[in-house]
Protein backbone atom coordinates (compact mmCIF):
# COMPACT_ATOMS: atom_id res chain seq x y z
CA UNK A 1 0.00 0.00 0.00
CA UNK A 2 1.39 3.41 -0.99
CA UNK A 3 1.89 6.05 1.73
CA UNK A 4 -0.62 8.87 1.92
CA UNK A 5 0.50 12.20 0.54
CA UNK A 6 -0.27 15.54 2.18
CA UNK A 7 -3.47 16.08 0.17
CA UNK A 8 -4.78 12.63 1.09
CA UNK A 9 -4.03 13.20 4.78
CA UNK A 10 -5.69 16.62 4.69
CA UNK A 11 -8.78 15.18 2.99
CA UNK A 12 -8.95 12.44 5.60
CA UNK A 13 -8.46 14.70 8.63
CA UNK A 14 -10.55 17.63 7.37
CA UNK A 15 -13.19 16.28 4.98
CA UNK A 16 -15.32 18.78 3.11
CA UNK A 17 -18.82 18.15 1.85
CA UNK A 18 -20.22 19.76 -1.24
CA UNK A 19 -22.75 22.57 -0.91
CA UNK A 20 -26.35 21.84 -1.94
CA UNK A 21 -28.03 25.19 -1.21
CA UNK A 22 -28.59 28.31 -3.29
CA UNK A 23 -25.27 29.13 -4.93
CA UNK A 24 -24.28 32.64 -3.90
CA UNK A 25 -20.80 33.71 -2.82
CA UNK A 26 -21.88 34.52 0.74
CA UNK A 27 -23.60 31.14 1.11
CA UNK A 28 -20.50 29.31 -0.11
CA UNK A 29 -18.27 31.23 2.31
CA UNK A 30 -20.62 30.62 5.22
CA UNK A 31 -20.85 26.93 4.36
CA UNK A 32 -17.04 26.69 4.46
CA UNK A 33 -17.04 28.51 7.82
CA UNK A 34 -19.73 26.17 9.14
CA UNK A 35 -17.77 23.09 8.10
CA UNK A 36 -14.64 24.50 9.76
CA UNK A 37 -16.69 25.15 12.92
CA UNK A 38 -17.96 21.58 13.05
CA UNK A 39 -14.47 20.18 12.50
CA UNK A 40 -13.00 22.27 15.33
CA UNK A 41 -15.87 21.39 17.68
CA UNK A 42 -15.18 17.74 16.93
CA UNK A 43 -11.50 18.18 17.87
CA UNK A 44 -12.39 20.05 21.07
CA UNK A 45 -14.91 17.45 22.18
CA UNK A 46 -12.39 14.69 21.49
CA UNK A 47 -9.77 16.50 23.57
CA UNK A 48 -12.26 16.95 26.41
CA UNK A 49 -13.36 13.32 26.25
CA UNK A 50 -9.73 12.24 26.26
CA UNK A 51 -8.99 14.30 29.36
CA UNK A 52 -6.75 16.84 27.63
CA UNK A 53 -9.17 19.74 28.20
CA UNK A 54 -11.46 20.47 31.13
CA UNK A 55 -15.17 20.85 30.55
CA UNK A 56 -14.86 24.58 31.21
CA UNK A 57 -11.99 24.97 28.72
CA UNK A 58 -13.89 23.00 26.08
CA UNK A 59 -17.04 25.04 26.62
CA UNK A 60 -15.11 28.31 26.42
CA UNK A 61 -13.41 27.29 23.20
CA UNK A 62 -16.67 26.15 21.60
CA UNK A 63 -18.41 29.32 22.75
CA UNK A 64 -15.66 31.44 21.14
CA UNK A 65 -15.97 29.46 17.90
CA UNK A 66 -19.74 29.94 17.97
CA UNK A 67 -19.31 33.70 18.35
CA UNK A 68 -16.91 33.73 15.37
CA UNK A 69 -19.44 31.77 13.29
CA UNK A 70 -22.26 34.08 14.32
CA UNK A 71 -20.13 37.12 13.46
CA UNK A 72 -19.36 35.59 10.07
CA UNK A 73 -23.08 35.02 9.46
CA UNK A 74 -23.89 38.61 10.34
CA UNK A 75 -21.06 40.09 8.23
CA UNK A 76 -22.10 38.01 5.23
CA UNK A 77 -25.75 39.04 5.67
CA UNK A 78 -26.97 35.44 5.80
CA UNK A 79 -30.61 35.26 6.81
CA UNK A 80 -31.16 39.03 6.67
CA UNK A 81 -33.02 38.92 3.36
CA UNK A 82 -35.62 36.29 4.24
CA UNK A 83 -38.65 36.65 2.01
CA UNK A 84 -42.03 35.01 2.51
CA UNK A 85 -43.35 33.34 -0.59
Residue 14 lies in a domain: no
Q: Do the beta carbons of residue 62 and residue 44 sit within 8 Å?
A: yes
What tens digit of pLDDT does each residue of 44-57 get?
999 999 999 999 99
Q: Structurally, how many domains does the chain consist of?
A: 1
Question: pTM for this one?
Answer: 0.77
Residue 64 has what pLDDT? 98
Q: Residue 11 above 70 pLDDT?
A: no
Q: Average pLDDT, stretch 70-76?
A: 96
- Residue 18's pLDDT band, with cuts at 50, 70 and 90, is confident
Which residues constitute the domain of residue 72? 21-76
Report the sign of the C-alpha dihedral through residues 51, 53, 56, 58, in that order.
Answer: negative
Residue 12 lies in a domain: no
Residue 57 lies in a domain: yes
How far are the Cα atoms of 26, 49, 62 from residue 46, in angstroms, in the given order?
30, 5, 12
Residue 10 lies in a domain: no
CA distance 27 to 39: 18
Amino acid sequence: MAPLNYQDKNSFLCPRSRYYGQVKPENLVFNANLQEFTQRVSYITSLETGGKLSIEEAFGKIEALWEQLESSKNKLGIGSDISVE
